[in-house]
Amino acid sequence: MKKDIHPKYRPVVFKDVSSGTSYLTRSTIRTEDKVTIDGTEYPLYKVNVSASSHPFYTGQRQFMDTAGRVEKFKKRYTKK
């Protein structure tokens, strides 16, 4: 492999700004922000949605009334 063409793969902290949850993982993402965890400084990347705040994973997902939608569709198009 050629040297100096690949991005640096390093530990990065992803912080969910809506819930405040932080995840320490490895990534090649570039960021200027820093955060200190357990005495070690890591690059910080802020995200709007993660598994801790997404409605699908938190169980707050709202189900649509599909039966009402089907009836509304049939009512609208059976006239024609």
The DSSP call for residue 62 is: P
Residue 68: per-residue pLDDT:
74
- Domain with 14 in it: 10-77
Identify whether 41 is part of a domain.
yes
Identify whether 4 is part of a domain.
no
Identify whether 62 is part of a domain.
yes
Place of tokens 């709007």: 48
Measured between alpha carbons, how far is 35 from 38 in angstroms, rounded to an integer? 10
The DSSP call for residue 2 is: -
Overall number of domains in the chain: 1
Whole-model pTM? 0.65
Identify whether 60 is part of a domain.
yes
Which of 23-32, 42-51, 54-63 is the most confident on average?
Answer: 23-32
Query: What's the pLDDT tens digit per position in 15-46?
Result: 998 888 999 999 999 999 999 999 999 999 99
Q: How many CB atoms lie within 10 A of CB 21?
A: 14
* E strand residue ranges, 2-65: 10-16, 22-27, 34-37, 40-47
Identify whether 1 is part of a domain.
no
Residue 45: per-residue pLDDT:
94
Q: Tell me what percent of the residues of the chain surpass a pLDDT of 90.
A: 41
Which of 12-16, 66-70, 74-78 is the most confident on average?
Answer: 12-16
Measured between alpha carbons, how far is 43 from 34 in angstroms, rounded to an integer? 4
